[in-house]
Amino acid sequence: MNSAITSCEHPDPLQRSDGGTLSAHDDGQGKKNSQPRSPGSSQLAYAILDTPPWYLCIFLGIQHFLTALGGLVAVPLILAKDLCLQHDPLTQSYLISTIFFVSGICTLLQVFFGVRLPILQGGTFGFVAPSLAMLSLPAWRCPEWTLNASQVNISSPEFTEEWQKRIRELQGVIMVASCVQMLVGFSGLIGFLMRFIGPLTIAPTISLVALPLFDSAGNDAGVHWGISAMTIFLIVLFSQYLKNIAVPVPVYGRKEKCHTSKFYLFQVFPVLLGLCISWFLCFVFTVTNTFPSAPTAYGYLARTDTKGNVLSQAPWFRFPYPGQWGLPTISLAGVFGIIAGVISSMVESVGDYYACARLVGAPPPPKHAINRGIGIEGLGCLLAGAWGTGNGTTSYSENVGALGITRVGSRMVIVAAGCVLLLMGVFGKIGAVFATIPTPVVGGMYLVMFGVISAVGISNLQYVDMNSSRNIFVFGFSMYCGLAIPNWVNKNPDKLQTGILQLDQVLQVLLTTGMFVGGFLGFLLDNTIPGSLEERGFLSWNQIQESEDTTKVSEIYNFPCGIGTKFCTSSCTRYLPFWPRLEHGGKGDTGVSQLTLASQISSGKRPKCATETRM
């Protein structure tokens, strides 16, 4: 879910005091290819095929890890309560380490064999709502004793089985739903489905990913509203008011030795800075006993020592492995719910592919690359289910936005980020540190993060004619039903009975998942109520510039090491929707094909510094 991305208006986060760019490196160590670049790449320090110096790759890879950190950590913490783990920070740290590790694997798979664009993979909020809906079924609700910290013995076999059977259920349904995503991707069905999914379907679907979580965010923030408000204030201050203020930092280079450079610190790390400062202040207030020490007192969970023992208990090294929580189980109700999240994730990822390609100076991705990208994301969800993250994986829009800010679009930087994620997943103490974040600090972060996600969904309406009463009705009705129907079903679960237990569970999960209700109604009404393509937003939503540079398309989007061009060139492969196409006697040039969202697409050139906004 990415917001407006400006390709040339943002100040460079790394800028030398003499006006140059720190990442450009005048000593000439980075490899720069001489291929012709697209208009969007003229402002890049490193384009997609360029290889920066190894030390810069590591630094920028860590930066991408830190950019995705908020979302990666948030998913396990949100699920913890419904998995009966709210009083077990050690297991929470294991889940965080596992999601780091799997995200690293999926990132490397996507860069080398998927869409081959520099896109980081990580946990998806699209799976959170159906997961919570499934865990809210009577069979999976946590026993009362697991909600009382004084009654929980995290080392007891009884408690271990309580949370493990829930995460095994999540593992099973995610693995089954991931097979649907792989089928849609590798079979080429994604191109057909996208003909019918427009902004009026996307807007309620994405917005309703975050809106139903207001209760969880409010409860966490309400543990201590002072700390939550401070966290919100710091994040807003850094991301909105101080983003264009450069901080001088000392830099050592081979040519210029010691010199100062300007670094846009607040623009690059607003969430991390706000979280760390609030975290530190909570530590100070804990040491000085400003916060109450009685577990039942208001503000007690803002103390940093309530989960302090997790750092001593967590091992230094812990290698996550498939089936670490036991053999996955499957229920029909959960599968249908997660499939709704899969559809949302796929549509979001396609938008990320086009936005990323433009930002890194690459031609629009051809169909075979899109099919492969979606298929690899499905494989990533399968791996996430097997490892037991409690979630799936998807393309991280936050990192797509970071490409536009840092102006470094090299594929090798994301490879470095994937390796960083793998290492962070193996170091057990790293996950333990993030599991000790005080609850109100997390609540403040949620309020900002979920608010932005909701707004990003609504921003897709900029492509639609909102002067049309048809469009106002479709969006308004879809959004309102996406909030009202799940609320009623949650309060009256006994009234939704058909006499068939499995069908009751399926309906319970689907109708308590707001993104499914709103997205389905938006899809149904948008495709049945008469309206022109322009009125529905298809034309302006998908104005994609044609590219004639087939040589560059082949180099960027084909398999690495000559696979498909020099090796594995059997004539049978031309029938595979995800395999690169050979043209003119098999020279290896790939013709550029586009994902068609409508039967007619208007074309036109964009201004050189145009602002790109993608779903």
Q: Tens digit of pLDDT for each residue in 461-476? A: 888 999 999 999 999 9
- Reported as a pLDDT band with limits 50, 70 and 90, residue 546 is very low
Average pLDDT, the chain: 78
Token pair listed for 612: 């790109």
Give tens-digit pLDDT for 423-461: 988 988 877 777 778 889 888 888 887 787 788 778 888
DSSP label at residue 239: I
Tell me how far apart the alpha carbons of residues 471 and 466 are, in angstroms, rounded to a whole number.
6
- Reported as a pLDDT band with limits 50, 70 and 90, residue 173 is very high
Q: Mean pLDDT over residues 389-405, rounded?
A: 76
pLDDT of residue 108: 95
Higher pLDDT: 72 or 3? It is 72
| Distance from the Cα of residue 37 to its chain's centroid | 28
pLDDT of residue 335: 86
CA distances (Å), origin 527, targets 236, 343, 356, 536: 39, 17, 29, 9
| Distance from the Cα of residue 504 to its chain's centroid | 31
Amino acid (one-letter) located at 576: L
Contact criterion met (CB below 8 Å) for 421 and 65: yes
Range among 98-102, 509-513, 607-611 rated most confident = 98-102
pLDDT of residue 564: 65
Contact criterion met (CB below 8 Å) for 348 and 206: yes
pLDDT value at 592 more than 50: no
Output the pTM of the full model: 0.71
Pick the range with the lowest mean pLDDT from 161-175, 182-196, 219-233, 581-595.
Answer: 581-595
Higher pLDDT: 405 or 27? It is 405
Helix, strand, or coil (residue 375): helix
C-alpha torsion angle, residues 580, 581, 586, 588 (rounded to 10): -50
Amino acid (one-letter) located at 355: A
CA distances (Å), origin 321, targets 94, 102, 103, 253, 496: 11, 10, 13, 41, 39
pLDDT value at 135 more than 60: yes
Q: Cβ contacts of residue 203 below 8 Å, gap of 6+?
A: 457, 458, 460, 461, 475, 522
pLDDT value at 153 more than 90: no
Q: Mean pLDDT over residues 342-349, rounded?
A: 80
Contact criterion met (CB below 8 Å) for 611 and 5: yes
Helix, strand, or coil (residue 34): coil
Pick the range with the lowest mean pLDDT from 44-48, 196-200, 234-238.
Answer: 44-48
Tell me how far apart the alpha carbons of residues 556 and 359 are, in angstroms, rounded to a whole number.
14
Q: Mean pLDDT over residues 223-242, rounded?
A: 90
> Could you tell me how many residues make up the chain?
615
Contact criterion met (CB below 8 Å) for 215 and 446: no
Q: Mean pLDDT over residues 170-183, rounded?
A: 92
pLDDT of residue 255: 65
CA distances (Å), origin 569, targets 116, 589, 591: 19, 13, 16
Q: Mean pLDDT over residues 346-362, rounded?
A: 77
Q: Cβ contacts of residue 80 below 8 Å, gap of 6+?
A: 86, 88, 92, 95
Token pair listed for 577: 């929707």
Q: Check residue 356 and give left, alpha or beta (phi > 0: left; psi -120 to 50: alpha).
A: alpha
DSSP label at residue 609: T
Contact criterion met (CB below 8 Å) for 332 and 18: no
